[in-house]
Amino acid sequence: MLLTIPVLLLPTTTLAWIDDDRYGSIYTGGYSGEGRWYLSGAAEVGTIDQQLTDADRSFSYTAPKIAVGGVGPRAIRFEFGWSRVISEDQDWGITGFDGDLWLPWEPHRRIRPYLILGMGYHKYYGAESDFLESNNADNGARSLNAGLAVMGNITKLTEMGITFRYLFITWTASAEAGEDVPDANATISSVGLRVQRLF
């Protein structure tokens, strides 16, 4: 008899929330967010190792990133993000988009890890633009990235997490027709902190 008293004292709004199908996939079935979409904002810090010139150079940077994504079957996430990476000395920068798959492990837990795999397109802006122009190359570049993320729920529909990423970027440059320039590439290693809202 005593065990039933707390349930009877629950406010009606609480009982309605428990019975509401809109929240079932997140709360009664875990925190996967399956069937929902989300908006995300993040700040990243990292290191750029670039080979757009004969001499290798490295830069540190801080960058914003925004993304929109969705949670599909088996709680696999897909997101489309925009970022702007500018070196601290303003000499090196890229702006572009990435499409990423987030593959979860035990996605219904409140704190859960993801494997990130993706590809993107970026445009280069900076001190080495002359190098690309002299080699008949567009400043657009293709990229591949991989990483890990750990996400957790702060509130019912708010998530926070940390990401670790490695990005490889390559430009198609040619000194003359048919002659490739092998060193037109860069790598970026980063750590990011993100907050996102499920809808």
Report how far residue 127's alpha carbon sits from residue 123's, in angstroms, rounded to the nearest whole number.
13
Average pLDDT, the chain: 80
pLDDT tens-digit series, residues 3-46: 443 444 444 333 333 334 444 444 445 798 999 999 999 999 99
The amino acid at 4:
T
Q: Global pTM?
A: 0.78
pLDDT tens across 135-164, in order?
656 678 899 999 999 999 999 899 999 999
Query: Domains of the chain, with CATH numbers?
Result: 33-198 (2.40.160.20)
pLDDT of residue 69: 98
- pLDDT tens by residue, 111-132: 999 999 999 999 887 766 666 6
Residue ranges in 82-184 assigned as alpha helix (H) = 129-134
